[in-house]
Amino acid sequence: MSTDATTDTLRAPRPVRRPSVAGVFGGILIAAVVAWLVVNFAKTPDNFLTNLIIGVTNGAVYGLIAIGYSLVYGILELINFAHGDVFMLGGMMTATLVTSLGLAAGDAWYVLFGGIPLITAIGMSFILQNVGLIWKGARPVSVNDILPHGTIFTIPVGDGVHYTWDKLIVLVITVPVLFALTYLVQRTRRGKAMRATAQDREAAAMMGIDVNRTISFTFLLAGCLAGSAGVIYALYFTNLTFLTGFRVGLIAFTAAVFGGIGNLPGAVLGAFLIGLMEAFVNGLGWHSPGSNWTEAVIFAILILILVFRPEGLLGERTPEGG
């Protein structure tokens, strides 16, 4: 009995976990956002579902760009802010192809699949905004609307929510690319070399990995993703300027940080969440800030993430060496 009592006395009491200020604030913020979404869904379910579809579609495009940021950061720990301009040039090249070739509705597949290898070469150059400015000028560039817009199915809610072909095409292109990229990084020899280089360049070189070639391949892959996103963006939104890459690039960077910079699934998750937030802020009717506040809300999220959870939603918290 005395031994047990001594053991119980010497045993350190378990510390009581108290909720942190960040945790409490985050919980309140999430609860408020969920309540706002629930009320909007109850009031106008058709409008809510329409903006949900728009948000998922936009998030897929942002995901292609956000993964490029994460790829380069994972290898070099470098934020490549020229990445958004590669995306912009991809869109400008698409506008040129569509206009010069006189493409019309039904020719979208040629641009989506036949034009992408040309965008790959552009992605390697990382040319900056001034090229787009000199090339197309400061005015918005319009692209012929060649994607089909017919209704695939209608959700019988409210006045009816129509899901159209243009939104499906965006997902048909982007989602397989995202899965293929994840497979490449996780399963292939080249992907293993990328991950080894990201963890320790010197050790990777000692194991026979060509570090410089791996870095070049990573930049090539990121440029391809940005160029592909530019093609899809130009065909889907049909309007862009030389500053589009800066704006959309910052949104995609926010998505990458939101999900966890350097984490590919995190970048995709962050992109879809940012796409949904943008659509809901723009389109919901009940107490929505409106489109004038969209970028303020998105970048406020970036600030909050950097302050309270800098590793992102799926990123790993790493101890700081001492």
How many other C-beta atoms can be found within 10 angstroms of the C-beta atom of residue 85? 26
Angle at 69 between CA 145 and CA 96, to 5 degrees: 25
Q: Which of 232, 194, 214, 205 is nearest to 93 (CA)?
A: 232
HEC string for 32-72: HHHHHHHHHHHHCHHHHHHHHHHHHHHHHHHHHHHHHHHHH
Please name the amino acid found at residue 37: L
Strand partners, 151: 164
Q: Which two tokens stand for residue 192?
A: 């293993």
Q: 0.75 cut: is pTM over it? A: yes
pLDDT attached to residue 3: 53
193-213 b/e (C-beta count within 10 Å ≥ 16 → b): bbebbbeebeebeeeebeeee
User: CA 152 from chain center: how many Å?
Assistant: 26
Pairing of strands 239-240, 161-164: unpaired
Q: Which of 201, 177, 259 is nearest to 75 (CA)?
A: 201
pLDDT tens over the chain, length 322 residues: 555 555 554 555 555 566 666 667 777 878 888 899 999 999 989 999 999 999 999 999 999 889 888 888 877 777 777 787 778 877 887 777 777 666 555 555 555 554 464 444 444 444 555 566 666 666 777 888 888 888 898 888 878 888 999 899 888 888 888 888 888 888 899 888 988 888 888 898 998 989 889 888 888 888 888 888 888 898 898 888 878 888 888 889 889 888 888 888 888 899 999 999 999 998 888 878 877 888 888 888 878 887 878 888 887 665 444 3
